[in-house]
Structure 1
């Protein structure tokens, strides 16, 4: 990547917004199915349907952005508004529990729609703030950076979730299991079984213990996901700062100027007889 690409603050702001929108989307495709399966249902089919909320919300936001780019003025403020919606509703998922299934899905749909709106705005805007000969280069640069940001967010959120579970599972599940009659010595095997999804190797496990730990496991996951979604806030602050102070409005770039025509260019006339002579020689 040529370093000159990063001297354009308008372009940098657009890339930053695109990257943070991608962080929400890509991490959501990994975190949300886990959340749905641990808090709301154990049915594979239901988890599959619930998982459509991320991609469906993103697509809906992209459709709205396509309409907004054409119909609404001031792309800067569209970007800011969409960023506020995305950050507010994704961070609000931190309040999710096993009893808030409908609310959580609605919040996720709206937050993903905000991310989709941001994505479509940035994909449209990045090609306008550079000269025509650089369009392919800057589009590829932004694609690389946003994909890397998505991979980073997925890894970071998964790591945060694992760390928080190590803290909250013993805190919630341990007392409930021992109160139901599980030996204290079996707690490490029980906690390992929560992650593995099987309690067959837990000494002393029985139906009473399994019934007693069902809700505490969900509560531990809810607390862990709370930290994950709250981590969206600092990245959202970066998006909003970039949108408000550096993202340009596009009205000045939407002109009738044609940078280069691909048709109607005069060419040298073909010399008569030359083609026939070459054919005969061949």
Structure 2
């Protein structure tokens, strides 16, 4: 529809293969460098510096900044949509009924959606709005590291506010991604590549968060829980049985007859609290790890382009033939054509 009848061969002939290759390689190299830094290689290593610099030079800077800001913001939803429900189940669910746990688990999706709705009211100075909402969201999510098994309300409020700001960032940066490209007629391609970047970065962040959580749980629980159980009076030989039973089915499974010999109500309460504290410490590390990605986003936000001058109210491309497909068609002209039709 966009290119008209009989334009297939012309489109294949005129397609910018070199530009597409540069954009693909640039994005791949840039993201590889960011993912390698501080992990596989030191940030100042030649591997990281070379991939980041070369990737950056191969891409349009304004467009690159927008899609990376969009991707980092979206990764919060995809990652925390997995992490947060587990945290609710591990730390807070047994203190409330089943419905409370369900509503609490929906905070991430609710916050992102609310932020996207509110972002629709932003009309001008979008680059400044993006900087403010991303910084606020990053700070609030980092503050989640202060939450404990006894602070469910604080956790919900911080996460709801944080994801609301990040949702606003996602909406605004995705919009800017479609505006800041040089040729507005390629809006679909720009958003398509941006969506691919979003999926890649979200998968990367989600993997990092889940791996960090698993590694920390494997350290904090064996270190903290047995000591608390032994101090409460449980034989040291039964601590592993308690950890296994509680990890599989919570307090009900751990307190089942014969599962953990020597366990009583007092020891059970101590063990449950110790397990939750150890789990909370692991989740704290996950929230601290968000600072690495947020730091990149805050740095990139400095370079978010000012698109106000591009908000002209014109339609750059339509899905129906016009008198001259190469011309930018004003919105009022399209409306006049509709009236005549």
TM-score of the pair, normalised by structure 2: 0.72
Report matched runs for 1:100-249 at 5 Å: 100-130=151-181, 131-197=183-249, 198-199=253-254, 201-244=259-302, 246-249=303-306
Instruction: State the structure with more CA Rg.
Output: 1
SS in 2 for 1:252: helix
Structure 1 unmatched ranges of 5 or more: 267-282
The residue number in structure 1 matching 2:22 is: 3
CA–CA distance in structure 2, aligned partners of residues 251 and 25 of structure 1? 28
Deviation at 1:202, TM superposition (A): 3.8
Deviations along 1:52-74, whole A, 9 cap, x unmatched? 21111111111111101x2xx22
CA–CA distance in structure 1, aligned partners of residues 138 and 175 of structure 2? 21
The residue number in structure 2 matching 1:253 is: 310
CA–CA distance in structure 2, aligned partners of residues 181 and 257 of structure 1? 75
Quick check: 145-154 or 235-244, which moved more?
Answer: 145-154
Runs of 4 or more, structure 1, over 3 Å off, are 200-208, 260-266
Report matched runs for 1:58-77 at 5 Å: 58-68=112-122, 70=123, 73-77=124-128
The residue number in structure 2 matching 1:91 is: 142
RMSD of equivalent CA atoms: 2.0
Deviation at 1:105, TM superposition (A): 0.8
The residue number in structure 2 matching 1:280 is: none
Deviation at 1:45, TM superposition (A): 2.1
CA–CA distance in structure 1, aligned partners of residues 279 and 184 of structure 2? 49
TM-score of the pair, normalised by structure 1: 0.86
The residue number in structure 2 matching 1:277 is: none
CA–CA distance in structure 1, aligned partners of residues 314 and 93 of structure 2? 55
Q: Would the alpha carbon gap of residues 211 and 255 (structure 1) be closer, same or farther in structure 2, given more than 3 Å must change? A: same
Q: Would the alpha carbon gap of residues 4 and 180 (structure 1) be closer, same or farther in structure 2, given more than 3 Å must change? A: closer
Higher relative contact order (CA 8 A, sep 6+): 1
CA–CA distance in structure 2, aligned partners of residues 181 and 264 of structure 1? 83
CA–CA distance in structure 2, aligned partners of residues 202 and 13 of structure 1? 55
Q: How many residue pairs were aligned?
A: 262
CA–CA distance in structure 2, aligned partners of residues 228 and 59 of structure 1? 23
